[in-house]
Amino acid sequence: MGFLSVIRRWVLREKVPIREIARCTGLSRNTIKKYLREGAVEPKFKTPPRPSQLDPYADRLSAWLLAQTRKSRKERRTVKQMHADLVKLGYDGSYERVAAFARAGRADRHRAEQTTGRGTYVPLVFQPGEAFQFDWSEDWANFRA
């Protein structure tokens, strides 16, 4: 059940005062009044796009990560090694930001593999009468009567 529907139920059905709802939920009274006035289903918070220190190095890091997926497991470089190489190139951000970028890239590639033809399994199972198989070869029989 949605958070706002619980607030509406408390106000409209159970006649709980807004001050009591604010105390229970930790929201301010003005926020609760705004939600009741708008009639919104759930609050949607829009996070503005923010520049990252990793942005100038994102293309290079993406290329490195893609190259690592083509190598065998023993030949791959770790994300820590890639972070150290980025530091040598002038990146002064944290390792956690690079690791989060690598995780997001891995998830995107996995999703792309699942949605494209590669990695998808379609079983060839048919109900009786749905599919037919024909043998177009020729056989000759000689009968002597």
Question: Domain boundaries in the chain?
Answer: 3-38, 55-115
Please state, in angstroms and rounded to a whole number, the distance separating the CA atoms of residues 28 and 37: 14
Pick the closest to residue 86 from 109, 69, 108, 64 (CA basis). Answer: 64
The single residue listed with the structure tokens 């918070």 is 45
Query: 60-117, pLDDT tens digit by residue?
Result: 999 999 999 889 989 999 999 999 999 999 999 999 999 999 999 998 888 887 777 6
- List, in sequence order, every beta strand (DSSP E) within 29-129: none
pLDDT at position 125: 76
Instruction: Give the whole-angstrom CA distance, residue 126 versus residue 117.
Output: 21
Average per-residue pLDDT in the chain? 84
**Would the CA dihedral through 54, 60, 65, 68 be positive or negative?**
negative
Q: What is the pTM of this model?
A: 0.51
pLDDT interval class at 137 (50, 70, 90): confident
Q: Is the pLDDT of residue 19 over 50?
A: yes
